[in-house]
Amino acid sequence: MGPMASTLDRPGTPLRLTPASRLRLAAAVGAGRMAATVSRLTGKGSGASIRGQVMTRIDPDALAKLLSGRRIAAVSGTNGKTTTTHLLAAAIRAGLAPARADRIVTNADGANLHYGIASALSQAPTADIAVLETDERVVADMIRLGRPEVLVLLNFSRDQLDRNHEIKKLARSWRDALEAAGEDGPVVVGNAEEPLVVWAAQTAKQVVWVDTASTWQEDATMCPACGAILIRRNPDPASGDPGDWDCPGCDLTEPAASIRVENGQIIDQRGIAHDPQLQVPGGFNVGNAACALAAAQLMGVSTEEALAGMRTVHSPAGRFATATFGTTTARLLLAKNPAGWHEALPLLGTSTVVLAIDAVAADGRDLSWMWDVDYEQLAGKDIIATGPRAQDLAVRLAYAEVPCRVVPDLSEALAGHPDPVDVLSTYTPFQKLRKLGGLA
């Protein structure tokens, strides 16, 4: 199918509040702004989260009020939502006249929980288009409170197992929210290769399916509808294509995609191939761009404008950015779970590679996922394991027969490399590295 009739020129529904409700929101926004300023001045953080916390403490309905009246495109999934949000926001900006760029607001820093979203929205009260990265746990509330026009559902993977014990529970929350929204719900842009996404989106009023050419399938072995073991049709081991999935026990099967990725190109609804020419590396980001393209079209942006906008994205929230640490030049990559490491490891092109790992709340305390990562492909490289849980990683690398040096301190691990290095990191060390490298 082609783009819907909606265009970027169509504004959202104006926010209607009583004077008392408007006054309470204004007070909440003002207090949140002050808290964020104090947080920055005292060096405790960017202030995005504390701004949202203070706002919602003063006005519990702040998020709902700030979402109201805007055209919303939300992006969620375990992997790729930050980059996809940046790509989609850039695509929509490209569809706006330069003088109208202030019409769009996005949570570009990746603060994707209730507080972070409210914080971002409060900074752009007149923006009528919101492109919002949304944590998987927040999707149901986003559908209920924000009534997004478009909802991009990328994937489901094991992530922070101590917090999200069962990813099907998250998928069920999406499915229930879409069913409850009915005709008032969003058009879903769904990854056809993800059984949980397909199952969750069955209750949506309309779905645009995208084939992202993903090669990761270890989190999609059982049918979410009936529990049968999924089968694969027409796999191609030579190219790494796992084939289409299908359930032998019920009618759940991989849907036909209207947009797909083939050989690094995006094939649109008309069968026309487009070279995305992205500035962010990796085949998985071509898949992310295909989803962003579908969403941009639904919002009223042409294919050409959307692709031109996406080509301006270089290092979303520090991902793939190059930074200097003393005399060392390092490129930073983020991977949070087996699927993320599976996609990122082939991108490590330097002879020396630094692997940074921690297991605090933001990373997920359960490190058992390391045993599902194919670290064997790092053989022959000079590997440095760093971060608070470097010893755990060293044990896993030993079983993969990949020698490594353990240097727990991040700064020390990055010191004194004459040639550029790639750094692959979990979330918490990644944020520390951004600060050390002057990127945050």
Tell me which residues are annotated as active site.
366
> 3-state class of 273 per DSSP?
strand
DSSP-assigned letters across all residues of 279-291: SS-SHHHHHHHHH
The phi, psi pair for 219, rounded to 5°, reads -100, 15
Q: Any known ligand binding at 404?
A: no
Instruction: Find the radius of gyration of the CA atoms of the chain.
Output: 22
Q: 212: number of CA atoms within 13 Å, CB side?
A: 33
Q: In which element (H, E) is residue 347 found?
A: none
Q: Any known ligand binding at 223?
A: yes
> 3-state class of 52 per DSSP?
helix
Torsion sign across C-alpha atoms 394, 399, 404, 405: positive
Q: Any known ligand binding at 226?
A: yes
Neighbours of 15 (CB within 10 A): 16
Distance CA 83, CA 317 (A): 8
Q: In which element (H, E) is residue 266 found?
A: strand 265-267
* Block residue for tokens 């079209």: 297
- Report the amino acid identity of residue 130: A
Distance CA 77, CA 418 (A): 38
List the binding residues for Zn(2+).
223, 226, 247, 250
